[in-house]
Amino acid sequence: MADRHRDASAIVRSRGPSLEAASLETSPRAHARLLTADVIDGKAMAAALRMRVADEVRGLASTHAIVPGLAVVLVGNDPASEIYTATKKKMSAQVGMRSFAEHLPASTSETALIRLIERLNGDHDVHGILVQLPLPAHIDPLKVITAINPAKDVDGFHPLNVGRLAIAHAALTPCTPLACIMLAKSVHPSFAGLEAMVIGRSTIVGKPLAQLLLAENATVTVAHSKSSDLPALARRADLLFAAVGRPELVRKDWIKPGATVIDVGINRITRDGKPQIVGDVAFEEASSVAGAITPVPGGVGPMTIACLLVNTLRAACALSSLPSPGL
Ligand code: NAD
């Protein structure tokens, strides 16, 4: 990815002399060429990261006879959650980890789920525990997450890990925000002096992402459903992160020319009678203004799973008092 390690101005330059100059071009092909953002290939970045994880896993097995193990707990039959957990299981096996799938019926009680978590906490073959959200309405997710041993909390949602992130002393960081940072870093090696805007303030994406951006020296604004004049706020951002869950909310005129746009949203819509997945950003039109942009699918999603594997590897090392791998 060395060729992507350029600063924002370099990207804008690579797309043409300037946006104004581009508008003077007469050939439509030249115009399209000059005004098309770099697409950040999350799929390829994730594949490369998984290969590095696989190398580390092999090393851990040969040097210390440790095989990182990831337990994925699913309660109920939400179709999207079933797909996510199956992918996590497959990817962990592909990098040489052990994977343990715990699929419980939707009627499972909170007590029974917490008993399972306690068993996994005590299982030395399990280094990472992930409870797929959302849980059925009768189960309190905070109670369940708090029951996970923080050292095995590979989602980084345990209050102790949330607190550590807030004091810039993170052990296990939430995977999607971590993925967003890695994707943006493929364009900007340093965020110092850049304005970052996160749209969405959820505890699993928006807030931890804002903490990570601050730790990386960006100047951060967090917007949400009660913010006024979102387009004007967004237009200030060199780094724009959309984590809202509203199909194509972010339009072309929300984007500062040359900005890097990271789209976290996964929205299932029907277009022209066909089911389709789109992000929170109107990709085609945003691409004509942004300097770099992640697609949906193929951006944040695959990197999130790769970061889960990184966290599982880190947890396995930490639980065995070994240094964290430099990934
Ligand atoms: P959430 O519903 O918990 O939070 C959404 C946030 O967006 C809230 O803070 C809300 O204030 C804000 N919001 C809602 N409507 C808004 C509006 N019109 N203008 C401005 N802000 C508004 O959602 P979440 O869990 O943070 O997920 C957000 C999106 O990211 C969803 O589409 C989800 O599917 C996706 N997601 C993707 C991944 C991944 O791996 N790619 C991981 C997690 C979540």
Task: Confirm whether 185 is domain-assigned.
Answer: yes
Task: Confirm whether 49 is domain-assigned.
Answer: no
Cα–ligand 1 centroid distance for 206 (angstroms): 8
- Bridge partners (DSSP) of residue 274 are 271
In 3D space, the residue among 50, 117, 68, 94 whose CA is nearest the CA of residue 304 turns out to be: 50
Cα–ligand 1 centroid distance for 164 (angstroms): 23
Task: Confirm whether 129 is domain-assigned.
Answer: yes
Q: What is the pLDDT of residue 28?
A: 42
Cα–Cα distance for residue pair 132/105, rounded to 1 Å? 13
Q: How is the beta sheet containing 69-75 ordered, strand by strand?
A: 98-104, 69-75, 128-131
Asked if residue 230 and residue 139 are part of one domain, the reply reads: no
Nearest-CA residue for ligand 1 atom 30 is 265
Q: What residue numbers bound the domain in which 203 lies?
A: 175-301
Q: What is the pLDDT of residue 180?
A: 98
Going by pLDDT thresholds of 50, 70 and 90, the confidence category of residue 79 is: very high
Asked if residue 278 and residue 163 are part of one domain, the reply reads: no
Note if 132 is an active site residue: yes
Asked if residue 162 and residue 107 are part of one domain, the reply reads: yes
What CATH number is given to the structural domain containing 80?
Answer: 3.40.50.10860
> Considering 172, 194, 227, which residue would you say is the last residue of a domain?
172
In 3D space, the residue among 69, 72, 78, 126 whose CA is nearest the CA of residue 101 turns out to be: 72
Going by pLDDT thresholds of 50, 70 and 90, the confidence category of residue 35 is: low
Cα–Cα distance for residue pair 262/74, rounded to 1 Å? 28
Cα–Cα distance for residue pair 283/150, rounded to 1 Å? 37
Q: What is the 3-state secondary structure (H, E, C) of 106-150?
A: CCCCHHHHHHHHHHHHCCCCCCEEEECCCCCCCCCHHHHHHHCCH
- Ligand 1 is surrounded, with C-beta below 6 A, by 176, 199-202, 204-206, 223-225, 230, 243-246, 249, 264-267, 300-301, 304
53 or 11, which is more confident: 53
Cα–Cα distance for residue pair 53/97, rounded to 1 Å? 10
Asked if residue 296 and residue 191 are part of one domain, the reply reads: yes
Is 0.75 surpassed by the pTM of this model? yes
> How far from each other are the two terminal CA atoms of the chain, in whole angstroms?
14
Nearest-CA residue for ligand 1 atom 42 is 176
Angle at 120 between CA 116 and CA 123, to 5 degrees: 140
Over range 268-294, report the average pLDDT: 97
Answer whether residue 294 shows pLDDT above 60.
yes
Cα–Cα distance for residue pair 23/142, rounded to 1 Å? 52
Of the residues 202, 226, 267, which should be mutated to test ligand 1's pocket, given the most ligand atoms within 8 Å of the CB? 202
Answer whether residue 25 shows pLDDT above 60.
no
Note if 238 is an active site residue: no
Q: What is the pLDDT of residue 327?
A: 83
- Do the Cβ atoms of 283 and 239 come closer than 8 Å? no
What CATH number is given to the structural domain containing 292?
Answer: 3.40.50.720
Query: Residue 184 to residues 54, 236, 259: CA-CA distances in angstroms?
Result: 23, 17, 11
Over range 172-187, report the average pLDDT: 98
